[in-house]
Amino acid sequence: MFRSVLVRSSSSAKQSLLRRSFSSSVPERKVAILGAAGGIGQPLALLMKLNPLVSSLSLFDIANTPGVAADVGHINTRSEVVGYMGDDELAKALEGADLVIIPAGVPRKPGMTRDDLFNINAGIVKNLCSAIAKYCPHALVNMISNPVNSTVPIAAEIFKKAGMYDEKKLFGVTTLDVVRAKTFYAGKANVPVAEVNVPVIGGHAGVTILPLFSQVTSLAQTVATPQANLSADVLTALTKRTQDGGTEVVEAKAGKGSATLSMAYAGALFADACLKGLNGVPDVVECSYVQSTITELPFFASKVRLGKNGVEEVLDLGPLSDFEKQGLEALKPELKSSIEKGVKFANQ
């Protein structure tokens, strides 16, 4: 009996010591989620509450945020949670934020393309980015609101008008494309999905999504692995399924939603990478849709090294298969059009 009490008290003392050393060594980081009461926002709030790198979690939406904040706030992890509701409280939600994640907007419905979302979500993004420019101009911004191919250029234009645009701090979150590509590839290749990495380049809609299955690596290796002898037809089908992943979920939910849970997971993964970069963790590399000169297009998704300033380096595309080279040329006109549409909207 005495021994078990001693073990418990010793364990408790160790945990207390670990907590103290952890809290003193990990920087204070405020993360704001704009659209936190929505289908993506709620599970994203949960996942960010579980992240030990977050010390302050700020949840904003036009309605229902106090309930989400109260619910999430009861979880016994490091971060303090505050909910803010309505435009009058947006400034308080943003002040002092190191990272702002934007899943705000309306979701896709059956038969709706990402283009159909444009006018509603573009207006929402425009207003939110104006507030970010005013209240937390140095924060990293993770754009989830669709269509990402256009909303990121909109954000860039709004920030330019405010005189605070830093191309290194604006990201389109394309991590869900990577998550899907890993999952679909591992299923076909019959390999452990946790060990697979697949770069995805281009944009974040339909044909603009280009998974590079020729560059599949495992965590144990730094060079491309043989593609598990998958045929060209299978790789073509995997590419198409990755491109149509969002539609697959919309149709499966039969009018009752879009990809919210997997998007929240992907958003949390990318946010974690950004926080690690800010905290000085070396060699944090993720795919993201950013301003770059890696192609002739002003914005493009590719592998990016993250650091204390956001984008530290945009990595080159590496060797592409003939199929991927064709895909790259095929996506450029649509991506160019989406970028121009965003720029035009922001400057209206």
Q: What is the pLDDT of residue 1?
A: 41
Lowest mean pLDDT among 10-14, 118-122, 195-199, 265-269: 10-14
**pLDDT single digits (tens) 180-239:** 999 999 999 999 999 999 999 999 999 999 999 999 998 765 545 555 678 999 999 999
Q: Give the dihedral sign, CA 208/209/214/215.
A: positive
**Residue 108 pLDDT greater than 80, yes or no:** no
**Percent of the chain's residues with pLDDT above 70:** 88
Active site residue 138: no
Burial of 285 (0-12, 13-18, 19+ CB in 10 A): middle
Long-range contacts: 268-272, Cβ < 8 Å, 24+?
268/44, 268/47, 268/48, 268/51, 269/175, 269/179, 270/142, 270/171, 270/173, 270/175, 271/31, 271/48, 271/51, 271/99, 271/101, 271/142, 272/51, 272/53
Q: Give the dihedral sign, CA 34/36/41/45.
A: positive
Give the tokens for residue 264: 């929240």
Nearest 5 degrees, angle CA 41-CA 288-CA 120?
Answer: 45
Q: What is the pLDDT of residue 17?
A: 44
**Residue 241 pLDDT greater than 60, yes or no:** yes
Q: What is the pLDDT of residue 22?
A: 46
Rg of the Cα atoms in the chain:
21
The DSSP string of 79-90 is: -EEEEEESGGGH
Question: How far is the C-alpha of 345 from the C-alpha of 156, rounded, in Å?
Answer: 12
Give the tokens for residue 44: 């994203």
Contacts of 262 (CB under 8 A, 6+ apart): 176, 179, 180, 249
Q: What is the pLDDT of residue 288?
A: 98
**Residue 325 pLDDT greater than 90, yes or no:** yes
- C-alpha 112, offset from chain centre: 22
Mean of pLDDT over the chain: 91
Q: What is the pLDDT of residue 225?
A: 56
Q: What is the pLDDT of residue 214?
A: 95
Residue 113 identity (one-letter amino acid)? T
**pLDDT single digits (tens) 109-153:** 667 666 777 888 999 999 999 999 999 999 999 999 999 999 999
From the candidates 204, 241, 336, 341, which is the catalytic residue?
204
**Residue 8 pLDDT greater than 80, yes or no:** no
**Residue 12 pLDDT greater than 70, yes or no:** no
Task: Specify which residues 200 forms β-bridges with.
Answer: 211
